[in-house]
Amino acid sequence: MENVHCPVMVKEVISALKIASEGVYVDCTVGEGGHSLAISGATDPKPTIVGIDLDKNALTKAKKMLGERAVLINDSYVKIKEISHRLNYRKIDGILLDLGLSSLQLETTNKGFSFARESRLDMRFDTKQELSAWEIVNKYSQQELADILYFYSNESKSRQLAKAIVNARPIDTTTELANLIKSTMFSNRKSKIHPATRTFQALRIATNDELGNIQKVLSNALDILKTGGRVVVITYHSIEDRLVKRFMTKYASKCICPPNNPICNCEHEPKIKLISKKVIKPSENEVNKNPRSRSAKLRVAELL
Ligand code: SAH
């Protein structure tokens, strides 16, 4: 059982952030502090680090790991601008987003993130939030559920599954939901992944408005980065990665005219430059050592 979160692509993150001693770095998803610890150790004297996380429990671990090396803030990364201003950091040298969830959260028995662990359906990173996966599963309309499954996990049987969920209500626990999915989707026996994987991903994204949050934090990041400052994003599934790629490509491009425009008339000014045109993936060695890194993709952009 993995009970310590092993940070992903640490070397790549450090090099992408171009860390400088006098720099200010915001780790938007500080989690247990793995990346922040590496950022802190990258220069002597140490850079200034602000670590943000919605999960209080994660911050307690981060505090133990980081001590005085970082200012820790229990809030959403969406508020990166307000948080930096409040701390009097007007311009930031580097911003890191390590999306998804930590091994600790996946393993925590009462969070309901994992279909392999019996728990009430919850999936909130922020326990103060009202909406939980239980509400979505038990209260949303069949159409809303089908859309969530389709758009947040590319589930091809989204309608069938949404219907089965509505018919089986109330569904209180992860196990009840996982068993229902298994019995509804028995078809592809060759697939190595459990049929509930996609549904649980979709519910987590919907519960925490993850895609909306990524859009917001990226826009806000561009407002507070200094010229030459970098934003580094690690994603763990194609829906997230596509969103980040589209955002970065749009703000890096000189023209955002529709492809069929004969001449450019958008007068779009690029705001960022892509540091690596191709997405950066973990080494084979890392994937072997840390299976959680398997699906990781890293993208870096620099403010112009
Ligand atoms: N890099 C971390 C692990 C990050 S896992 C480490 O090395 O330990 C992703 C983290 O993002 C989780 O701790 C989760 O609680 C946090 N998170 C998810 N959505 C968030 C949001 N909107 N604002 C702040 N933190 C968020």
Q: What is the pLDDT along the chain (304 residues), one digit of tens a residue?
A: 445 789 999 999 999 999 999 999 999 999 999 999 999 999 999 999 999 999 999 999 999 999 999 999 999 999 999 999 999 998 999 999 999 899 889 888 789 999 999 999 999 999 999 999 999 999 999 999 999 999 999 998 999 999 999 999 999 999 999 999 999 986 555 667 788 999 999 999 999 999 999 999 999 999 999 999 999 999 999 999 999 999 999 999 988 888 888 899 888 899 999 999 899 999 999 999 998 899 999 999 999 9
Q: Is 77 in the pocket of ligand 1 (CB under 6 A)?
A: yes
Q: Is 101 in the pocket of ligand 1 (CB under 6 A)?
A: yes
Q: Is 125 in the pocket of ligand 1 (CB under 6 A)?
A: yes
Q: Whose CA is nearest to atom 7 of ligand 1?
A: 34
Yes or no: say if 77 and 46 are a contact pair by the CB < 8 Å rule: no
| Cα 32 to ligand 1 centroid, rounded to whole Å | 9
Yes or no: say if 27 and 21 are a contact pair by the CB < 8 Å rule: no
- Which ligand 1 atom sits closest to the C-alpha of 126? 15
Which among 203, 216, 230, 277 has a CA at the least distance from the CA of 82? 216
Q: Is 76 in the pocket of ligand 1 (CB under 6 A)?
A: yes
Q: What is the pTM of this model?
A: 0.95
What's the pLDDT score for residue 186?
67
Instruction: State whether the Cα torsion 109-113-117-122 is positive or negative.
Output: positive
Secondary structure of the chain as H, E, C letters:
CCCCCCCCCHHHHHHHHCCCCCCEEEECCCCCCHHHHHHHCCCCCCCEEEEEECCHHHHHHHHHHHHHHEEEEECCHHHHHHHHHHCCCCCEEEEEEECCCCHHHHHCCCCCCCCCCCCECCCCCCCCCCCCHHHHHHHCCHHHHHHHHHHHHCCCCHHHHHHHHHHHCCCCEHHHHHHHHHHHCCCCCCCCCCCHHHHHHHHHHHHCCHHHHHHHHHHHHHHHEEEEEEEEEEECCHHHHHHHHHHHHHHHCCCCCCCCCCCCCCCCCCCEEECCCCCECCCHHHHHHCHHHHHCEEEEEEEC
Q: Is 84 in the pocket of ligand 1 (CB under 6 A)?
A: no
| Cα 33 to ligand 1 centroid, rounded to whole Å | 10
| Cα 111 to ligand 1 centroid, rounded to whole Å | 14
Q: Whose CA is nearest to atom 13 of ligand 1?
A: 31
Q: Taking the CA of residue 95 as centre, how many other CA atoms within 13 Å lie in the half-sphere pointing to its CB?
A: 33
Best substitution site from 4, 8, 13, 54 to test ligand 1's pocket, by max atoms within 8 Å of Cβ? 54
Yes or no: say if 142 and 130 are a contact pair by the CB < 8 Å rule: no
Yes or no: say if 55 and 125 are a contact pair by the CB < 8 Å rule: yes
Instruction: State whether the Cα torsion 296-195-204-65 is positive or negative.
Output: negative
What's the pLDDT score for residue 2?
44
What's the pLDDT score for residue 4?
72
Q: In whole angstroms, what is the distance from residue 220 CA to residue 96 CA?
A: 13
